[in-house]
Structures are given as structure tokens and as C-alpha cells.
Structure 1
């Protein structure tokens, strides 16, 4: 069984991401990084990426190719402050679902590492 299946599959990922983007829409640091007319597209892309990363369908790669996360985020100034806002909102997403402490820790470890890796502009 994949981690994707263990945590409840697509409905769990969708809930995490929906909660995250509810916060993004009004966040003073993150909202300007997201085109207002493509917030739904960003939500879908993150959902598909996370589903694939954790062992679910490969729809993300089929539609968009290799994730290339740093390249895709290069046009945005990802500062330590932006990382902190992103992580706070993602924490809310994880808190909105019913993961075991072990599952939560595994997910959180990945996103904290990924968020740190995405920093491309000093604070």
C-alpha cells in the first residue's frame, strides 16, 4: 500500500490543498505570488503533484512533465518569510485532515524540506 492510499487517497490530498489555498487567497505575502485568475489551476496542480509524489496517479507528470519545482518557482521571490507563511498555511491543511501522528510527521518532514529547498531570495 502506498502512502497515498494509507492516508485516504485523493480526498485527503484535496482537503489539505483546499485548506492551504483558502489561506493563500488572503495571505499578504503569498497571495501576490499567485495569479488571482489561476488560483484554481494552482490548487489543481498542487493536488496532482502531491498525489503523484505520495504514490497516487501520475496525472501531474502526464500533463506537465517533470515537476522541476525550483525552475517553476524561479520567477517568484521565495524568501524565508514566504517559506514561513507557506508552511503555516500547509500546517493548517494537514491539521484539517485525520492523519496518524506518524503520517503527519512524514508529510510534514517532506513539506518542510521542500519549502526550504524552494528559497531563492535571501530575506
Structure 2
């Protein structure tokens, strides 16, 4: 492509369908969580607004609006939600796997580039959550919001 005909690369947020798609994903995901023996105990205390908060966080991370930072306190707030929860690798793996299963169930984009980028963030973010949930973890008040993009592939597959 010449520089005059370059196609704008959508953000991951745009590619997956924006806020409505993320809210469908997180709402359905947390319905599944309630029946999951590994995850239900971790999330039993979460309020009905939890899926919307997670959708806003994921949306911001994946290139959408900064709604989570504006209304909930950004990455430091998310870190605070994990302090002293003592999450384990089995819970982390189950969370990632169930979220991806839910994305499949809902027919979210499954092209290799998008899924690679999404899995990259979910692996990184969930491992960070485990670290931040252990005794002695502290919140960096100036921790920036993660910003996740396409990574090595530089955009969606356009076969």
C-alpha cells in the first residue's frame, strides 16, 4: 500500500465491537462464573455492577474511551481490588479460559491476530492480578493504565 491509500488500523476495542460487545462478554462471563467451582468463591461478593466495571476497564485497556479511569480511578483502583485476595494460578488459568470460552460462545472475533493480542493481555493482566493479590503487594498511585494493541502483527488479518 502506498502512504496515500493506507487503511486505518482499528483498535482492539473497535475490532471486537466496542462497549456493547464487551458488556455482553462480561455479563455472560460472570453468569458462567457463578456456576464455576473454582471461580465462584472468588467472585461471590461482587455486586451486579461488576461486569460493567470490568467491561469499562477492558475497553480502556484495549483502546476504547477512558471511562474506567474517569469514573473508577484507573489502574491504581483496579490494583486495589486485588490486594490481599491471595489468588492462585489455578484461579487465574480458569478465569482466562472461561473468558475465552465465553468469547467463543458469543461469536466474538476469532481471527488469529485479534485472539493473539487478547490472549496476550489476558495472560499479562491476570498474572499481574495474582502478583497484586499476594501479601505485601502495594499500589503505585501513579500506575498508568495499560494500553494494549495489536503487538507484533500490526493489525487484523485481512486475508
Q: Do both share a fold (TM > 0.5)?
A: yes
Secondary structure of 2:49's partner? helix
Answer with 1 or 2: which has the greater Rg: 2
Q: Which range moved further: 109-118 or 69-78?
A: 69-78
Q: Which has the higher contact order (CA 8 A, sep 6+)?
A: 1
> Pick from 98, 101, 117: which aligns with 2:112?
101
Structure 1: segments with no counterpart, 5+ residues: none
Measured at CA, do residues 37 and 78 of structure 1 come closer, stay the same or move farther in structure 2, by a change above 3 Å?
closer
Note the alpha carbon deviations across 1:17-55, whole angstroms, 9 max, x for none: 1232121111122212224461x2211110110111112
> Pick from 124, 127, 132: which aligns with 1:113?
124
For the pair 1:62 / 2:73, whether they are aligned, the reply is no
Give the Cα separation in 1 of the matches to 2:63 and 2:45.
Answer: 30
**CA RMSD of the aligned region, Å?**
1.8
TM-score w.r.t. structure 2 length? 0.67
For the pair 1:51 / 2:59, whether they are aligned, the reply is yes
Structure 2: segments with no counterpart, 5+ residues: 1-9, 135-159
Q: Give yes or no for contact 1:3–1:54 (8 Å, CA) kept in 2.
A: yes
Match of 2:30 in 1: 21
Count the aligned residue pairs.
120
Q: Which range moved further: 24-33 or 67-76?
A: 67-76
